[in-house]
């Protein structure tokens, strides 16, 4: 207890000191507070000096927030009124922070689209647009593609699969070829991403009635969900999930599995953590499609920059945001943190579109789709993961899991339906 | 003079009462009010979106299969971990207090160390111990010819794994209270018993056990109350998984409240848990009182000594 108290006092003291120091060398400068998450929070500091040099009178103060606590911290700050002027957020959170009234709409004339901004990836930009208004600037992008062991695949005569059937055949072949306890693909049990990608490919709309109810018992979602579960039933994916391998990289290196559906953060991890002998034995490919229209769609993800509605230095903050999304800064962020730029011009500048492992992302990013843009999405996504896990473990049948999913999602969306109905009543009341 | 004297106590307790009122009773009343609303993300943005729903949260909660799972898991934890923890701490207390033990203060410190260790750091180490392929625990099992167990990944084993770690982490605290209780037993009682020909087992049953009974009640109650509030261990080790196997009531409350911002529902969860603990504590105290009343003569002196111990422990 007394330790906690001491820490608290120390922290308070430091804050006071820091505030004192700032006041000293700021003079009349405008200070833009910026919250960056995870790895970006560590490196973005290095982009600050060039900005401050270019924009006299504006200083940027970066605060690093870990990803795991980011949503909670941002919402707490919002309630307390201590939001930063600019903040990084997952592009799937935009709707949530919009509902909270935290984000300033980015509309002309005050906040015009960035110069030459037509080279943002369309699917990613779309994730930041709700009801026709732009709420965030894409900072870097993120989607999921296939990572696979090219050496093990070529041994079976497979090429990177382009359809679901090819993919399944390839996984069967790889497993037949491999030694006893190997699998073909590693799918973490509670992950919602892979079943949702398959569902999007199969043409499912996850929600219906203007995103007010779950639509998980539709034929399209069922088809994708059944395919996903069949990977476990056929023994292609381990029912033990991630615990099957000591860690993903070791399991991949040992050939415990040959496929992963994962994102750009694993590019650098694979380079660093796989043994040197396997450096040329892995490759990436865009997602297979259910039919001939390759590549299949994947998730539009990544991080966006948003402007706090209550900021007192919106113009300075806006300049900082625009600076960060310039192709040159995006390229620099890629060099510092490995993030994939949100703009095609930065890709070309870095030759990522032709890169050995990045070209698959380049292709995939032309075929990405955002998840439903409603504040409840994070919770719905977690629910999909939980029901998928129950079905994989055999606790629930496909029918039970999908019925439970619809029921739970309907309950999650109950407040949304009520708000919509009230808004409709008010409109009807105004009309006559 | 008399007026001053009659007023003085109130003045002296006022600061404490004010602090308790402002930081304890006001938040509790606010939470009670919150539990009668559907306060959520939308209400956070605009108070207009708040609905008063009365007891609806409680009705939904009791019908919620996830809450029932969480309650069952928590009960499982309390029923297994609390007796286990008390038994281990009593055993450890007897060992470090035994006259034959050398360096008793060293052992007291060593056994107490897990209590002061940061839980997150300990959890990281325990996750290594529990690793299905590389963990020390499974290596030891393999050496004994037992097939490896996926401790944190298998729904059947995750809760036992949490219990094991939690007992290791917390038994030292109860041990210290038991040591204090043991020290307050007068040596003359043991001497008298020895002279009457009582062996170590008889001495434990007829001297230690009855003299330690009040301490035991105190430790059992505090452990039960603490165990019902199980949160940190599953939060750090499993996040409630696999498949909700380690989801506790408080973890569910945290998830609803601070992950999904359904503060109304989370507040209702907190009150249901509070009522459960209140009822169980009252029942336990009533039982204790009746037992004490039955054994009036001897217990009267013990309770006095024990209450002092319990007070020192708290």
Nearest CA distance, B277 vs chain A (angstrom): 24
Q: Is residue A164 over pLDDT 90?
A: yes
Residue B212: what are its φ and ψ, rounded to 5°? -90, -5
Contact list in B for residue A417 (CB cut-off 8 A) is: none
Q: Is pLDDT above 70 for A203?
A: yes
What does the pLDDT read at residue A27? 57
Both tokens of residue A286?
Answer: 């865009």
Cβ atoms of A386 and A190 within 8 Å: the answer is: yes
Where would I find the H helices in A139-278? 150-155, 164-177, 193-201, 219-233, 248-254, 265-273
CB atoms within 10 A of CB A81: 7
Please give the Cα distance from A287 to A296 (Å, whole number). 5
Residue A137 pairs in a beta bridge with A305
Q: Over the stretch A367-384, which tens digit does the pLDDT of each residue have? A: 999 999 999 998 999 999
Q: What is the pLDDT of residue A325?
A: 93
For B:211-240, CB contacts with A below 8 A are none
Give the Cα separation of B186 and A367 in Å (integer). Answer: 81
Q: What is the dihedral of CA B238, A337, A186, A408, to 10 degrees?
A: 50
CA distance A341 to A164: 29
Chain centre to alpha carbon of residue A62: 22
SS3 A140: strand
Residue A12, pLDDT > 50, answer no
pLDDT at A4 over 70: no
CA distance A425 to chain B (A): 14
Of A278, A266, A251, whose CA–CA distance to A186 is shortest? A251
Is residue B242 reached through a cis peptide bond, with omega within 30 degrees of 0 on the bond before it?
yes
pLDDT tens for B32-51 read 999 999 998 888 888 888 99
What is the DSSP code string of B55-112? THHHHHHHH-HHHHHHHHHHHHHHHHHHHHHHHHHHHHHHHHHSTT-SSHHHHHHHHH
Q: Which of residues 141-180 of B touch A (CB under 8 A)?
A: 150, 152-153, 155
Distance from CA of A383 to the nearest CA of B (A): 11
Region A348-355: mean pLDDT is 90
- Given a cut of 50, the residues of chain B with pLDDT beneath it are 297, 299-314
Task: Give the pLDDT confidence score for residue A140 in this predicted structure.
Answer: 93
| The A185-186 sheet, strands edge to edge | A185-186, A259-262, A145-149, A282-285
Cross-chain residue pair B155–A241, CB shorter than 8 Å: no
pLDDT at B311: 38
Alpha helices, H only, A245-313: 248-254, 265-273
What CA–CA distance (Å, rounded) separates A275 from A282?
11
CA B287/CA B281 separation, integer angstroms: 10
Tell me whether A209 touches chain B (CB under 8 Å): no
The two tokens of residue A191 are 């992950």
- Cβ neighbours of B15 (radius 10 Å): 9
pLDDT the model gives residue A36: 95
pLDDT at B91: 94
pLDDT on residue A123:
86
Closest Cα partner for A229 from A107, A63, A410, A392? A392
Query: Would you call B183 an interface residue with chain A, using a CB distance cutoff of 8 Å?
Result: no
Q: Which residue in B45, B51, B152 is closest to A99 by CB distance?
A: B45
pLDDT value for A317: 95
Write down the mean pLDDT value for chain A: 88
| Residue where the block lists tokens 């990522």 | A352
Residue A142 has pLDDT above 50, yes or no: yes
Taking an 8 Å cut-off on Cβ atoms, the answer to whether B51 and A393 are in contact is no
| pLDDT tens-digit map of A14-27 | 444 444 444 444 45
A383, closest residue in chain B (CA to CA): B243
Burial of B234 from C-beta contacts in 10 A (0-12 / 13-18 / 19+):
buried
Mean of the pLDDT values across residues A192-215?
94
- Omega before A432 within 30 of 0, i.e. cis: no
Mutation site for B-interface testing, chosen from A243, A377, A394, A425 by largest number of B Cβ within 10 Å? A243
Give A418's contacts in chain B (Cβ within 8 Å). Answer: 51
Q: Which of A426, A311, A255 is nearest to A30 (CA)?
A: A311
- Look-up of token digits 């032709």: A354
Number of Cβ atoms within 10 Å of the Cβ of B99: 6
More confident residue, A247 or B228: B228
Q: How far is A203 from A119, CA to CA, in rounded Å?
A: 27
Eight-class DSSP state of B54: T
> What does the alpha-carbon distance between residue B61 and residue A44 come to, in Å, rounded to a whole number?
44
- pLDDT at B103 (0 to 100): 87
Cα A367 to Cα A68, A143, A144, A286, A302, distances in angstroms: 28, 10, 11, 9, 15
pLDDT band of residue A3 (cuts 50, 70, 90) is low
Q: Is A240 on the interface with B (CB under 8 A)?
A: yes
Instruction: Report the pLDDT value the prediction gives residue B291, as an integer from 0 to 100.
Output: 80
Task: Give the pLDDT score at B148.
Answer: 85
Q: Which residues of A touch B132 (CB under 8 A)?
A: 240, 243
- Token digits of residue B133: 């392929």
Res. A432 pLDDT band, cuts 50 70 90: low
CB contact under 8 A, A100 and B243: no
Strand partners, A185: A259
A412: its two tokens: 């999650």
Q: Do B41 and A100 touch (CB under 8 A)?
A: yes
**Interface pTM, i.e. ipTM:** 0.78
pLDDT tens, A306-342?
999 999 999 999 999 999 999 999 999 999 988 999 9
In the prediction, which pLDDT does A246 show?
Answer: 65
pLDDT at B132: 80
Q: How far apart are CA A90 and CA B283, in angstroms?
A: 49
| pLDDT bucket at A6, cuts 50 / 70 / 90 | low
Cα–Cα nearest to A185, from A246, A143, A142, A248: A248
Residue in this structure with the two tokens 């310039």, named with its chain if needed: A326
Nearest-Cα residue of chain A relative to residue B151: A243
> A388, exposed or middle or buried, with CB in 10 Å at 0-12, 13-18, 19+?
buried
């Amino acid at each position: 207890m007394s330790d906690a108290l001491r820490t608290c006092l120390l922290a308070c003291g430091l804050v006071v000191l820091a505030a004192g120091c700032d006041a000293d060398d700021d003079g009349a400068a405008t200070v833009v507070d910026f919250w960056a998450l995870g790895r970006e929070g560590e490196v973005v500091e290095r982009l600050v000096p060039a900005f401050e040099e270019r924009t006299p009178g504006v200083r940027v103060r970066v605060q690093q927030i870990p990803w795991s606590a980011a949503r909670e911290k941002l919402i707490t700050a919002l309630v307390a009124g201590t939001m930063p002027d600019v903040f990084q957020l997952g592009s799937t959170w935009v709707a949530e922070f919009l509902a909270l009234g935290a984000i300033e709409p980015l509309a002309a004339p005050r906040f015009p689209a960035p110069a030459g901004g037509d080279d943002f990836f369309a699917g990613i930009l779309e994730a930041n647009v709700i009801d026709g208004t732009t709420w965030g600037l894409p900072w870097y992008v993120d989607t999921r593609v296939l990572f696979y062991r090219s050496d093990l695949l070529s041994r079976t005569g497979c090429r990177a699969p382009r359809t679901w059937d090819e993919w399944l055949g390839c996984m069967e072949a790889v497993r037949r070829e491999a030694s006893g306890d190997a699998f073909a693909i590693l799918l973490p049990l509670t992950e919602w991403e892979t079943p949702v990608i398959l569902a999007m490919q199969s043409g499912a709309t996850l929600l219906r009635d203007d995103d007010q109810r779950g639509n998980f018992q539709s034929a399209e979602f069922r088809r994708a969900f059944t395919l996903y579960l069949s990977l476990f039933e056929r023994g292609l994916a381990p029912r033990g999930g991630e615990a099957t391998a000591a860690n993903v990289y070791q399991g991949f290196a040992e050939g415990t599995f040959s496929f992963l559906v994962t994102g750009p953060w694993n590019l650098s991890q694979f380079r660093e953590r796989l043994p040197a002998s396997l450096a040329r034995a892995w490759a990436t490919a865009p997602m297979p499609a259910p039919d001939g229209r390759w590549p299949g769609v994947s998730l539009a993800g990544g991080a966006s920059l948003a402007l706090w509605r209550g900021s007192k230095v919106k113009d300075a903050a806006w300049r900082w945001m625009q600076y960060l999304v310039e192709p040159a800064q995006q390229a620099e962020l890629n060099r510092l943190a490995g993030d994939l730029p949100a703009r095609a011009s930065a890709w070309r500048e870095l030759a990522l579109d032709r890169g050995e492992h990045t070209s698959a992302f380049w292709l995939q990013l032309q075929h990405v789709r955002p998840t439903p843009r409603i504040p409840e999405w994070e919770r719905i996504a977690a629910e999909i993961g939980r029901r998928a896990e129950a079905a994989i473990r055999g606790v629930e049948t496909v029918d039970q899991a999908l019925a439970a999913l619809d029921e739970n999602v309907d309950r999650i969306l109950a407040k949304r339906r009520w708000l919509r109905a009230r808004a409709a009543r008010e409109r009807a009341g105004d009309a006559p | 003079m008399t007026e001053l004297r009659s007023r003085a106590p109130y003045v002296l307790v006022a600061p404490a009462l004010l602090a308790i009122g402002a930081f304890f009773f006001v938040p509790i009343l606010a939470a009670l009010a919150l539990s009668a609303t559907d306060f959520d993300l939308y209400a956070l943005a605009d108070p207009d979106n708040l609905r008063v729903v009365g007891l609806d949260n409680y009705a939904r909660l009791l019908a919620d299969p996830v809450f029932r799972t969480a309650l069952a898991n928590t009960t499982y934890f309390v029923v297994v971990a609390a007796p286990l923890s008390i038994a281990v701490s009593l055993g450890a207390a007897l060992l470090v207090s035994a006259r034959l033990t050398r360096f008793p203060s060293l052992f007291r410190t060593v056994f107490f160390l897990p209590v002061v260790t940061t839980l997150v750091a300990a959890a990281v180490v325990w996750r290594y111990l529990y690793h299905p392929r590389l963990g020390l625990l499974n290596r030891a099992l393999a050496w004994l010819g037992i097939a490896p167990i996926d401790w944190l990944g298998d729904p059947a084993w995750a809760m036992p794994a949490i219990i094991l770690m939690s007992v290791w982490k917390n038994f030292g605290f109860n041990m210290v209270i038991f040591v204090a209780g043991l020290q307050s037993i007068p040596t003359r009682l043991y001497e008298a018993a020895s002279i009457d020909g009582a062996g170590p087992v008889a001495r434990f049953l007829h001297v230690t056990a009855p003299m330690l009974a009040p301490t035991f009640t105190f430790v059992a109650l505090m452990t039960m109350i603490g165990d019902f509030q199980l949160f940190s261990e599953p939060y750090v080790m499993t996040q409630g998984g696999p498949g909700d196997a380690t989801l506790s009531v408080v973890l569910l409350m945290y998830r609803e409240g601070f992950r999904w911002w359904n503060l109304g529902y989370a507040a209702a969860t907190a009150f249901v848990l509070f009522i459960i603990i209140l009822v169980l504590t009252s029942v336990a105290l009533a039982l204790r009182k009746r037992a004490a009343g039955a054994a009036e003569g001897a217990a009267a002196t013990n309770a006095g000594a024990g209450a002092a111990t319990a007070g020192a422990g708290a």
